[in-house]
Structure 1
């Protein structure tokens, strides 16, 4: 066997043994952050990850975990109080009630219009849109807190194209849980 090959293999074995010893002895102690956590906090209670005979935990209600604070825009046809997608709105409100069936849901309703038409007409149209949506919601378990209307003021996007105007013909709903 070649002497150079033997010295190379021997050098590699010595180097790997020394580097492993050096890592375990000196370097690993500085990497304490890599160690798994021994405690876990759930719902205000600190739990140990070590095996135990019994495990205590506290149950947190749904309201404490996910408070309801939701905003939804309902779009309307041009110069109309007809919703663009009435089935989608009904499905949304039904699913919201289903998810929060033991909670009183409160709604703030704000009507808007695009810039087509006079300011007075758009103010009246936004009022009728807000009233239509609030009537649809009042048949459910939702409590209407306020109904307001702003006409063509406060557009979501500039009224420069028809697709932008469609986004501004809306009723904004702010849902909160009581």
Structure 2
């Protein structure tokens, strides 16, 4: 069974960057339930009840307010133990390609480390940085750059070998 639930929690530097998107592809009951729970997180972030995941410019340390969203993601993962989580880090185009790849990897690892710290099994979470390679928007203003500084979650229900 193939499942890809992509959950984008954009690292906001402006109010417009507080977006989240969910893509679902599996009809199993467990997947539907997890997707519904993640959509609730989406609603809470849009209502600004929960701040999105964010980082200081050029840093890979989670802001304290970002932990509420990650607590929610952890709750979903703990309720659905056969699901696996891939954490993808992204940056804007400021800085060298090498630096941005390193920074995005460190941000993804910071998210994974926090999830493991609060109870998610480390072997069910993978972290990967893409640097500036996969922008959501053109990097032509601070507003669009802030939308590209993000962490993406993909929840899968299959073995890692079939993903990579």
Q: How does the TM-score come out when normalised to structure 2?
A: 0.57
Find the residue that maps to 1:66 and give its secondary structure: helix
Distance (Å, rounded) in 1 between the aligned partners of 2:68 and 2:102: 28
Which structure's relative contact order is higher, taking Cα pairs within 8 Å and 6+ residues apart? Answer: 2
1:158 to 135, 138, 151: 138
- Which residue number in structure 2 is paired with residue 79 of structure 1? 58
Structure 2 unaligned regions, length at least 5: 1-27, 43-51, 159-164
| Closer/same/farther in 2, CA of residues 63 and 92 from structure 1, 3 Å limit | farther
Find the residue that maps to 1:146 and give its secondary structure: strand
Structure 1 unaligned regions, length at least 5: 1-61
Based on CA coordinates, which of the two structures has the bigger radius of gyration?
A: 1
Find the residue that maps to 2:139 and give its secondary structure: coil
1:123 aligns with 2:89: no
| Closer/same/farther in 2, CA of residues 129 and 102 from structure 1, 3 Å limit | closer
2:70 to 66, 73, 93: 93
Number of equivalent positions: 115
Q: How does the TM-score come out when normalised to structure 1?
A: 0.53
Which structure 1 residue ranges, 4+ long, deviate > 6 Å from structure 2? Answer: none
Q: Name whichever structure is richer in strand by fraction.
A: 1
Give the aligned CA root-mean-square deviation in angstroms: 3.0
